[in-house]
Amino acid sequence: MQLVMLETNGNQRYIFAAPRLRDSIGASAQLVRLKEWTDDALRATGAAKRWEKNHPQPRGGPDPKAELPCRRFSTQWVSRASGKVIFMVDRKEDAKAVIGRVTRTALAQAPGMDVSGVHLDMGDKTHVDEDLLKRIHARAARYGLRRPPAEARFSQMPFLARAKDSVLPASPTLKCMFGHIDDEAKDDQGTLLSLPSRVKRYRAFYSRRDLISLACRTSEDLNPDQLVRDPKKLTKKLREAFAVDVETPGESPRPNTGAVGRDSDGGRGAADEEQKSDVVALEKRFQDAPGGTGEAASALSKVAVIHIDGNGVGAVMRRLGETMDRVDEADFSRAVGCSRGDADALRRFVLTVNDRLDRAVTEAFAKAWADVAKWAEADAGPTGQKLAVVPVVPVILGGDDVTVFTSGDYALPFAAAYLERYERTTESDVLLRHLGRDKGTGPMTAAAGVAVVRRDFPFHVAYNLAERLVGEAKKVGKAQQPVRSTLTYHALFDSSVLDPEKILQAYSSFTTRPFLLRRDGAPASDPPGRYEPWPDTCGRVRQFKGLTAEDPGTGETRFPKTRAARIRKLLSDAAQARLVDRGLSDRLANKAEREWDDAKKVLSGTVVEGMGTRALFDLMELSDLLPDSYLHSPSPADGSEPATTQEVQE
């Protein structure tokens, strides 16, 4: 028997190979197709049928409707994580055939994606154990060091026209390349694009459609009218939307034409002009589209990249034996379908954790999106304006990693809502509640980093900043007992320094970030210190915004926004100067402190009494970044559900 592992490599390079949002959306959709391609390869090579014949599935075989993953999938499956699959086959020839077919499929359907596979002889073992998993990962790491990179497949030719936004050569249209694809977007057909970029952008339409379907199925509270430009087309789109389901071995394979997303009758379904215009409009809100004027009425003034990473998930997979021992025997049997002592327990455990974690991440994402939609609708209500599409676009959604593009004003609300939903979902899960802590049960935790930038700022730079912010937040969360979820942010509007480490170092003495997600019974500090609970921070921001708002009767403010802006500018300049001139930085910081001391004489007895400029800087930034609907909505971090739209408006 052979143990086989296939995985995608260089995912960030593949996603951010081009600076356009539509490319990133399509690249993300391509990365999750590894499971689909592997299922197809197992059927096409006959490996699935041979396995089914030699290893009969207990209790009547796999059942797609079964609750337990070990009942839905064939016994040859070990792991079905995002971007990585592990399975068993009977023969060495089957392993090579499956790996070859999957990598060739990736080359044809996702040019530029790097997929590699390795296999390992299991010897006389009939079940996967921890030692075999360590050995297959070690073999994959050794193989990765000596194999040529994916870029070698697309060497530059001096006589070829260069593609837009890429060092790769331009390619013909998809219809010219493949013949059967005749619904490529018109603007893409007329643009010099590389083959990887052309395929990514084509897949972006279907990715957006599938996301709408997934989110609406997961969260009953999500108003689908806010997810597409034309609500009248929603019902049709959701009916036509498809989800890739796993077929049991022996079923007839579906036709795989490469033009994924078409209806079974050959029609274009949701990939019509309305769907295309939906994605194009979304792209224009985030950045100037090729050939556009950059003056779209719905353009966002600021956008954000959110990166969220779970705490301890990697450790769970590295120490499977220890992790399994932490799980209560009754909960283990209920979730996995066998006892810990069963020879097949480890395989079932890995498969079940993958499945339940994917479900938890999907549910948290969908419900956080629904929360943002409610807040956005509440903010649009008083103005009498019709709510536009809520621009929440996942780039990576799988495992414990989430990367999202969104509008700047709802980025922090989305991040906090996701963390709250993730904790609540995992704490109620019979298996996942044992994985978040070394002892006892509790929620699994995560860290979120939000990089808020101006429209048309390079996404890959914002992503690097968000990723670094997650690292800072994780340090704080893991230092708590028990481990806590944390979130942090940085608004990059006034800097030409693109090194994330230098940016965060410059501002470290002016903020109270990162924030702890929950209060957990601890009283609010006064004055606020480092690592303040997020609900307490939101409470201070809510009261601070009241100080800067005009009095309805007199039209005056106790703390004018001009003064707040002046102090904020001084602190920001001081942070920037710290990188080149420490003396200038100190002088600017002292000037800001004097301004604040003068302001406190007018604001005696208010919520900001006793606060220093460190907390003030966060308050002034957050007062611009957090919408009123969010600040006045109950938070699950305090044990309550988000308010409905009507409750928020009231």
Q: CA dist 54 to 47, 50, 89, 512, Å?
A: 11, 6, 10, 61
For residue 514, whether the previous peptide bond is cis, meaning omega lies within 30 degrees of 0, is yes
Q: Is the pLDDT at 366 greater than 70, yes or no?
A: yes
pLDDT band of 375, cuts 50, 70, 90:
confident
Q: Are strands 84-89 and 2-9 parallel, antiparallel or unpaired?
A: antiparallel
Tell me the average pLDDT of the chain. 74
Q: Is the pLDDT at 47 greater than 90, yes or no?
A: yes
Higher local confidence (pLDDT), 444 or 23: 444
Can you give the pLDDT at residue 64?
54
Q: Is the pLDDT at 142 greater than 80, yes or no?
A: yes
Q: Is the pLDDT at 569 greater than 80, yes or no?
A: no
Can you give the pLDDT at residue 642?
46
Q: Is the pLDDT at 111 greater than 90, yes or no?
A: no
Q: Which residues pair with 308 in a beta bridge?
A: 402, 448
Whole-number Å distance between alpha carbons of 155 and 167 = 10
Across 275-298, average pLDDT: 48
Can you give the pLDDT at residue 147?
81
Q: Are strands 446-454 and 486-492 parallel, antiparallel or unpaired?
A: parallel
Across 105-126, average pLDDT: 90
Higher local confidence (pLDDT), 51 or 507: 51
Q: Is the pLDDT at 259 greater than 50, yes or no?
A: no
Q: What is the pLDDT of residues 153-166, one digit of tens each?
A: 555 555 567 677 66
Across 309-335, average pLDDT: 89
Q: Is the pLDDT at 551 greater than 80, yes or no?
A: no
Across 544-551, average pLDDT: 63
pLDDT band of 292, cuts 50, 70, 90:
very low
Q: Is the pLDDT at 267 greater than 50, yes or no?
A: no
Residue 479 is encoded by which pair of tokens?
């230092």
Q: Which amino acid is at 33?
A: R
Q: Are 201 and 176 in contact (CB under 8 A)?
A: no
| Burial of residue 341 (number of CB atoms within 10 Å: 0-12, 13-18, 19+) | exposed
Q: Is the pLDDT at 21 greater than 60, yes or no?
A: yes
Q: Are 466 and 477 in contact (CB under 8 A)?
A: no
Q: Are 72 and 62 in contact (CB under 8 A)?
A: yes
Across 261-268, average pLDDT: 38
Higher local confidence (pLDDT), 87 or 603: 87
**In the chain, pLDDT over 70 holds for what percent of residues?**
65
pLDDT band of 66, cuts 50, 70, 90:
low
Other beta carbons within 10 Å of 644: 14
Q: Is the pLDDT at 463 greater than 60, yes or no?
A: yes
Can you give the pLDDT at residue 239?
30
Can you give the pLDDT at residue 135?
94
Report the side by side order of strands in the sheet with 77-81: 77-81, 84-89, 2-9, 114-121
Can you give the pLDDT at residue 168?
75
Can you give the pLDDT at residue 131?
92
Phi–psi pair at 559, nearest 5 degrees = -135, 90
Whole-number Å distance between alpha carbons of 498 and 571 = 19
Can you give the pLDDT at residue 384?
60
pLDDT band of 398, cuts 50, 70, 90:
low
Q: Is the pLDDT at 566 greater than 80, yes or no?
A: no
Q: CA dist 457 to 2, 24, 74, 460, Å?
A: 47, 14, 46, 9
For residue 642, whether the previous peptide bond is cis, meaning omega lies within 30 degrees of 0, is no
Can you give the pLDDT at residue 648?
39
Q: Is the pLDDT at 231 greater than 70, yes or no?
A: no
Can you give the pLDDT at residue 450?
94
**Measured in Å, how far apart are the chain's first and last C-alpha atoms?**
64
Phi–psi pair at 115, nearest 5 degrees = -120, 130
Q: Are strands 486-492 and 515-516 parallel, antiparallel or unpaired?
A: antiparallel
Across 339-344, average pLDDT: 89
| Burial of residue 179 (number of CB atoms within 10 Å: 0-12, 13-18, 19+) | exposed
Can you give the pLDDT at residue 37?
94
